[in-house]
């Protein structure tokens, strides 16, 4: 499972900004849906996570924390 800090690092790399926090909104960071897909690609490739499932919806991911919660839900579903 990815940590919040790891996710924030990936988001920083994609948006090219240093000031990223869990509560940062992707829109505020200047990220569109293409950039969010970039984050998902990084998570799948770099962290070797299987992050897509039937419930994923980019527009429910408003903040970095939303994405983290989604990723956490995948892990708990896999464990459950």
Q: Which one, 7 or 40, has the nearer CB to another protein?
A: 40
Q: How far is the CB of 6 from another protein (least distance, A)?
A: 18
The encoded tokens of residue 73 equal 């839900």
* 49-58: Cβ within 8 A, 24+ apart: 49/2, 49/74, 50/74, 58/33
Q: How far is the CB of 76 from another protein (least distance, A)?
A: 19
Q: Which one, 54 or 79, has the nearer CB to another protein?
A: 54
Q: How far is the CB of 26 from another protein (least distance, A)?
A: 13
């Amino acid at each position: 499972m990815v940590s919040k800090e790891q996710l924030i690092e990936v988001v920083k790399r994609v948006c090219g900004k240093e000031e990223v926090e869990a509560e940062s909104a992707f829109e505020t960071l200047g990220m569109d849906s293409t950039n969010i897909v970039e984050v998902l690609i990084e998570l799948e490739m770099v962290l070797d996570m299987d992050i897509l499932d039937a419930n994923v919806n980019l527009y429910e991911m408003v903040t970095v924390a939303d994405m983290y919660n989604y990723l956490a839900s995948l892990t708990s579903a896999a464990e459950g």
